[in-house]
């Protein structure tokens, strides 16, 4: 590959490299650190069951306490709310009555959102208990938290899922580099066939490691394998397309776009609704964000745990 700085004298090459490379490092750190430092709820879809006074008070007062944090949807009963959570329409739901407060969450959708909902439930329980004590009622208002779609028992924090996307992104770029730069399959249909086969095999290997060794994907084996394969395929195909369009420099552009833009902006470590509005849509449209959504969708949809009282 031709040195783009060959026309400059050595001192100028050193000057350019001393400016450009540190700048790239700073931008890379900023791309990963800024979204993580600005994580907070932004129009997170949450359900509220029933039209009791407690539910109405929740809908009226929580938005004023945290403006723009939640997008509330009213459900007639608990079964409908649970169905919405299992279908990934909602991240959770609240059931607030004078006698009991229930929080329905889905840690498999987002451990960060599930923790936030549990915290809000504890705050509601404290307020309800104080109100009950002030009105002369005896006892504390009980609180239960029901994880409708839980994370696997062997991966209770979802770390395997969140950490795997970056590795899949890097490996997918390497796959495209091997096919587009080293092997140079031509014409294009041969590249697509090669990428499809390699993505299917790599997805199967990733699933076997994630499940057989780590027990992080215990449900829906075919869907999990397909999600991993499609994630690898989408990233590697986009990278191969850039290489075919502009040559070897396309590999560097794809790496910068997928790793330093798509991955931190995808919300894989939290949720898309927790990432700043300026970048969350960018992350969702890139293959990394789409892959994160595929992997979330492949998780179990009907493995509710027993409610736990707090």
pLDDT tens digits, one per residue of 103-119: 999 998 889 999 999 99
Q: What is the pLDDT of residue 304?
A: 42
pLDDT of residue 135: 62
What pLDDT score does 306 carry? 43
Q: Are 107 and 147 in contact (CB under 8 A)?
A: yes
Q: pLDDT 10s per residue in the chain (310 long)?
A: 567 777 778 888 888 888 988 998 888 888 888 888 888 899 999 999 987 777 777 877 777 777 888 999 999 899 999 999 998 899 999 998 878 889 999 998 889 999 999 999 888 888 777 776 666 555 577 889 999 988 888 887 878 877 788 888 999 999 999 888 877 767 778 888 899 999 999 999 988 888 888 887 777 788 888 888 998 999 999 999 999 888 888 998 998 889 888 888 888 888 888 988 878 778 788 887 776 776 666 655 444 444 555 5
Which tokens in the block code for residue 155?
A: 């991966």
**Rounded Cα distance, 310 and 16, in Å:** 59
Query: What integer pLDDT is reported at residue 308 of this predicted model?
Result: 54
Average of per-residue pLDDT values in the chain: 83
Between the CA of residue 212 and those of 205, 219, 242, what are the distances in Å? 10, 12, 35
pLDDT score recorded for residue 227: 86
- Exposure string over 189-217, b if 16+ CB within 10 A, otherwise e: eebeebbeebbbebbeebbeebbeeeebb
pLDDT at 108: 86
Place of tokens 């560097």: 252
pLDDT at residue number 188: 79
Tell me, what's the pLDDT at 195? 92
Q: Do the Cβ atoms of 247 and 241 come closer than 8 Å?
A: no
pLDDT value at position 296?
A: 67
- Helices 159-177 and 188-208, axial angle in degrees (round to 10): 150
Strands 143-147 and 101-105: parallel
Residue 300's pLDDT is 52
Residue identified by tokens 């009555």 is 97
In the chain, what are the domains? 44-149 (3.40.50), 159-297 (no CATH)
∠ CA(153), CA(206), CA(170), 5° rounding?
115
d(CA 84, CA 72): 13
* Dist. CA 18–CA 241, nearest whole Å: 31
Locate 122 and state its tokens: 């504890």
Cα-Cα-Cα-Cα torsion 56, 60, 66, 70, nearest 10 degrees, comes to 50
Chain segment 25-64, per-residue pLDDT in tens? 888 888 888 888 888 899 999 999 987 777 777 877 777 7
308 vs 143: CA distance, rounded Å: 8
pLDDT in the model for residue 202: 93
CA 155/CA 241 separation, integer angstroms? 35
N residues, the chain:
310
């Amino acid at each position: 590959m031709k040195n783009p700085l060959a026309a400059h004298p050595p001192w100028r090459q050193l000057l350019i490299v001393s400016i450009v490379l540190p700048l790239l490092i700073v931008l890379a750190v900023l791309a990963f650190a800024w979204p993580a430092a600005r994580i907070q709820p932004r129009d997170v879809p949450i359900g509220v069951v029933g039209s009791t006074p407690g539910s109405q008070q929740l809908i009226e007062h929580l938005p004023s306490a945290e403006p723009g944090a939640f997008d509330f949807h009213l459900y007639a009963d608990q079964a409908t709310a649970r169905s919405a959570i299992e279908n990934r329409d909602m991240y959770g739901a609240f059931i607030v009555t004078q006698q009991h407060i229930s929080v329905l969450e889905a840690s498999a959708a987002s451990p960060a959102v599930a923790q936030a909902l549990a915290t809000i439930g504890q705050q509601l329980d404290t307020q309800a208990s104080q109100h009950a004590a002030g009105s002369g009622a005896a006892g504390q208002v009980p609180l239960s938290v029901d994880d409708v779609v839980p994370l696997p028992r062997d991966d209770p924090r979802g770390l395997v899922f969140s950490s795997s996307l970056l590795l899949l992104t890097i490996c997918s770029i390497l796959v495209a580099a091997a096919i587009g730069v080293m092997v140079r399959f031509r014409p294009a249909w041969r590249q697509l066939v090669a990428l499809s086969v390699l993505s299917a095999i790599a997805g199967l290997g990733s699933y076997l490691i994630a499940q057989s060794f780590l027990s992080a994907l215990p449900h829906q084996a075919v869907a999990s394998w397909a999600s991993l394969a499609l994630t690898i395929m989408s990233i590697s195909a986009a990278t191969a397309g850039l290489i075919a369009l502009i040559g070897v420099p396309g590999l560097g552009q794809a790496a910068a776009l997928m790793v330093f833009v798509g991955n931190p902006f995808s919300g894989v470590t939290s949720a898309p609704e927790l990432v700043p509005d300026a970048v969350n849509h960018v992350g969702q449209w890139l293959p990394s964000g789409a892959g994160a959504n595929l992997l979330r969708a492949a998780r179990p949809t009907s493995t509710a745990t027993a409610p736990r009282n707090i």
